[in-house]
Amino acid sequence: MIKQQVSLQHLNTLRLSCIASHYCQVSSIEELVEAANYARLQQLPLLLLGEGSNLVLPSKIRALVVKIELKGVRQKATDSGVIVTAAAGESWDSLVAQTARDELWGLENLSLIPGTVGAAPIQNIGAYGVEVKDRLLELRALDLASGTVETFDNRQCEFAYRDSVFKQRFSNRFAIIDCTFKLNSVAEPQLSYGALQNAFNHNQGALSPRLVRDYICQLRQSKLPDPRVTPNAGSFFKNPVVSEAKAKDIEKQFPELVSYPVDEGRKLAAGWMIEQAGFKGVQRGSVGVYDKQALVLTSNGCANASDLQLLVDEIRTRIAELFGVSLEVEPRSYDCHGQQVS
């Protein structure tokens, strides 16, 4: 059922105040098709909503906001592991918890990431050296224009760092319906990140997906704000990738620069740069920079998108002045006409 003038404040983890002109929840593909048809007839843009943990919403939005509530998880055993298919509206972290309980390797490094299964491929969620692309076999998505269901294999998703075809060429064209992952029953720990190496290197024999998950949950809870207590959207900026020459140039002035080699050059730790620029813990009215991780912007629950934008502009300007680097916003932002602006 489509409702009008609905507040989305409790449906985005930054708790930004936002009134949607039209809103509905869908729990089946048929309902999703109906919603898409309604939006087309009414000439409304369609905004798909998971748990709202990677979104910046305007104070008012003229769009049909469709909350994805498709549910269900099924498993199929194979010789080396299990193929797991989860519907788009399932909680990502509940899926990770379940697979870790089932002693399946593959998703444990992605523990405690908020959001839904269906949103996970959109920005190719990643943490501690693992990305969704490393485990996703295929996904099914509804083409919102034609109403047909298409299957995308891993390659067709065109995954990249916090990116996929669904943020690029096919932005807002497909609604992801379900995702299928290939998980392993044989030990496959991914411990390349320093924190995990330190914790587990001595005792790899006794490792289990559950142990890795529990450790990552503890680590994240100690460093990251719980959106239910301190509204936020996780990392607000992507880590910029620059050429080796540019990184060396920055190091002349900032020898402590935190960076990691990648194929295209070097990935700079944006959180470190923001901290160096003096923003860690600063408060600007209803919004601020988290005091334990400067990459996370927070709200006091009474902010709107304009309050946040002022702080974003201030940080981006200062980082460009200091390091000569342009920071790209990670969450997807929308304007009052329902058009995506970043």
Q: What span, in angstroms and rounded, lies between the C-alpha atoms of 234 and 224? A: 8
- Out of 60, 156, 158, 193, the only residue in the binding site for ligand NAP (CB under 6 A) is 193
Question: Token pair for residue 160?
Answer: 């990249």
Judged by CB under 6 A, the stretch of 23-31, 40-48, 63-71, 190-198 that binds ligand NAP is 190-198
Tell me, by CB under 6 A, how many residues bind ligand NAP.
17
- x/- map, 98-127, ligand FAD, by CB under 6 A: ---------------xxxx-xxx-xx-xxx
Task: Select the binding partner of residue 114 from ligand FAD, ligand NAP, none (C-beta < 5 to 8 A, by kind).
Answer: ligand FAD
Q: Residue 106 binds which one of ligand NAP, ligand FAD, none, with CB within 5 to 8 A depending on kind?
A: none
Nearer to ligand NAP, 74 or 292 (CB): 292
> Residue 293 touches which of ligand NAP, ligand FAD, none (CB < 5 to 8 A by kind)?
ligand NAP
Query: What are the C-alpha distances in Å from 264 to residues 245, 325, 329?
Result: 11, 15, 20
**Of ligand FAD, ligand NAP, none, which one sits near residue 48, judging by CB under 5 to 8 A according to partner kind?**
ligand FAD
Return the axis-axis angle of helices 92-101 and 209-223, rounded to nearest 10°. 140
- Determine whether 235 is an active site residue: yes
Alpha helices for the chain (secondary structure H): 29-41, 92-101, 194-200, 209-223, 244-253, 270-276, 305-323
Pick one of 234, 240, 288, 338: the residue that binds ligand NAP (CB under 6 A): 234
Q: Is 162 a catalytic residue?
A: yes
Nearer to ligand NAP, 234 or 338 (CB): 234
Is 223 a binder of ligand NAP (CB under 6 A)?
yes
Mind giving me the DSSP string for 75-114? EEE-SSEEEEEEETTSBHHHHHHHHHHTT-BSSGGGTT--
From CA 85, how far away is CA 64, in angstroms rounded?
28
Residue type, 114: P
DSSP secondary-structure letter at 52? S
Name which of ligand NAP, ligand FAD, none residue 230 binds, using a CB cut-off of 5 to 8 Å depending on partner kind: none
Footprint of ligand FAD on 222-261 (CB under 6 A): 224, 227, 232-234
Between the alpha carbon of residue 286 and those of residues 206, 279, 301, 304, the distances in Å are: 46, 15, 8, 9
Q: Which of 235, 259, 286, 299 is catalytic?
A: 235
Best CA proximity match to 236, nearest among 329, 150, 118 = 329
Nearest distance from C-beta of residue 92 to ligand FAD, angstroms: 6
What's the closest the beta carbon of residue 126 comes to ligand FAD, in angstroms?
A: 5
* Closer to ligand FAD by Cβ: residue 232 or 299: 232
- DSSP track, 100-166: HHTT-BSSGGGTT--SBTTTTTTTT-EETTEEGGGTEEEEEEEETTT--EEEEETGGGT-BTTB-TT
Helix or strand run (H / E) with residue 265: strand 265-268
The reply to whether 199 sits near ligand NAP by the rule CB under 6 A is no
Instruction: Give me the least distance between CB of 211 and ligand NAP, in Å please.
Output: 18
Q: Could you tell me the CA-to-CA distances from 110 to 77, 191, 208 in Å, in that order?
A: 22, 12, 15
Binding site for ligand FAD (CB under 6 A): 13, 47-55, 68, 88, 113-116, 118-120, 122-123, 125-127, 175-176, 224, 227, 232-234, 332
Residues tagged active-site: 162, 235, 330
